[in-house]
Each structure stands twice: as C-alpha cells, then as structure tokens.
Amino acid sequence: MPMRPLYIIPIPPTPPIPGRLPEAFVSRQGLFSDEEMDRIQQAALHRESRRVVVGLDNKVDPDGNLSFVRHLPPNKEMQWAYQRILDVISELNARHFQFDITGIDEPLYHVTYEGNEKGHYNWHIDANAPDRPRRKLAITFQMSHPNEYEGGDLEINMTGIPVTAPKERGTLVMFPANHIHRVTPVTKGTRCALVTWIVGPPFK
C-alpha cells in the first residue's frame, strides 16, 4: 500500500507558561460564536461520511465504536477555524503540558454519534499507526448543544476514576493521547464533535 504523505499542519510555537499538569484534561470555552459554530458544522455536514474503523485491523467494530466520521480539510473556507483552534491548542499546551509538539498530521475529523443506534466509542487510547508521527495530545471540540442529546459523555480515566469533560457547545477539551477515554452511548438525539491529535517527536 502506498504510504500516505506526512500531512503536517505546523502548530504556532508558544513559549512555556508556568503552570501544572492538569488532573485529566484542560478545556477552553467560547472559541467561536454561535454563527461560526454553525458555519463549521455546515461545512462538515457537506462532506461525505463513513463509518469509523478502529483497532489493529482497522475494521468497523460496533462494540468498540459506532459513529460516522467526515474529514474537514483545511481549505480556504476553513482556514480561519483551523488557525483559531491551533492557536488555542498551542497556548493550552504551553500552559499545562509543555509537550514537544509539531502540528497535526491529518485533517480535523467531524464525528457523529446517533442516539437511534446508541452511538458510542468504548474505552481506548489514541495510539498512532506505526508509520505515522506520535500522537501526543488528543483534542475534542464539542459541536452539539448538551440539550440536543442524552448520554454521549466524553470520559477520561487518568487516575482510575473517570472524569467527564464539559459538554457545552464550543468547548475545546485536550488531554494526553495515551490517557484511556471513551464516549458513552448517546441514548437520545445526536452528538457531534470535531476531533484531532497533535503529533510530535516521541517522549524521551
């Protein structure tokens, strides 16, 4: 199989900001106005969707994951959104993690979990494929109003006690990609999120 080219959108560097490692995740609210959120959502919904595949064999596995994904490429229409998201990620990393990061190596994913099929993503870590750059930080950007769905909690289990990420529309949640996490089944309505990973050289 031909190897996908290394697709890196560089992240703007931010000097370290004194702070401490968060308990499980960090979050930032209000990155976009409601109108901007609608624009991002519409741009994503115009893209073709496919079932998410997971695991070492990259298959659809309804026990592990039941959701749809769409790419949101960094084209002219979406450059402004990418810019803002990457700026905030850079700042949050400088403040809370100070990991050595280079950027993202694939387009943002727009994910949809449907209540009528109990869409979910079981416990997992976000490992990279062996031939891809190391995933160091996982990002979820909440695209749905919490009153549009039930269930669909993003839970991160760093200490043995899972914590639930904030659900407000427009909240960016960031955590180390090797922390085990899941999305509990959506039992009503629809939950959408934008997902990406920040890559960088392996930890030393």
Ligand X SMILES: O=C(O)CCC(=O)C(=O)O
- For Fe ion, give the closer residue by CB, 17 or 60: 60
Q: Could you tell which of ligand X, Fe ion, none binds residue 183, using a CB distance below 5 to 8 A set by kind?
A: ligand X
Which residue's C-beta sits nearest to Fe ion? Answer: 126
**Cβ contact 167:146 at 8 Å:** yes
Q: Which residues bind ligand X (CB under 6 A)?
A: 111, 121, 126, 140, 154, 181, 183, 193, 195
Integer CA distances (angstroms), 56 to 59, 68, 117, 138, in order: 8, 19, 24, 19
| Shortest distance, position 182 Cβ to Fe ion, whole Å | 8
Q: Nearest-CA neighbor of 190 among 67, 25, 101?
A: 67
**Which SS3 state, helix, strand or coil, does residue 42 take?**
helix
Distance CA 8, CA 49 (A): 23
| Shortest distance, position 19 Cβ to ligand X, whole Å | 24
**Cβ contact 120:66 at 8 Å:** yes
- For Fe ion, give the closer residue by CB, 96 or 135: 135
Question: Mind giving me the DSSP string for 87-137?
Answer: HHHHHHIIIII-----EESSPEEEEEEEGGGT-EEEEE--PPPTTSPEEEE
Structure tokens at 116: 């009528």
Which residues pair with residue 10 across a beta bridge?
103
| Shortest distance, position 76 Cβ to ligand X, whole Å | 26
- For Fe ion, give the closer residue by CB, 105 or 126: 126
- For Fe ion, give the closer residue by CB, 86 or 183: 183
Q: Does 153 bind Fe ion (CB under 5 A)?
A: no
| Window contacting Fe ion (CB under 5 A); options: 14-22, 62-70, 121-129, 148-156 | 121-129
Among 32, 97, 126, 134, binds Fe ion (CB under 5 A): 126
| Shortest distance, position 181 Cβ to ligand X, whole Å | 6
Q: Which residues bind Fe ion (CB under 5 A)?
A: 126
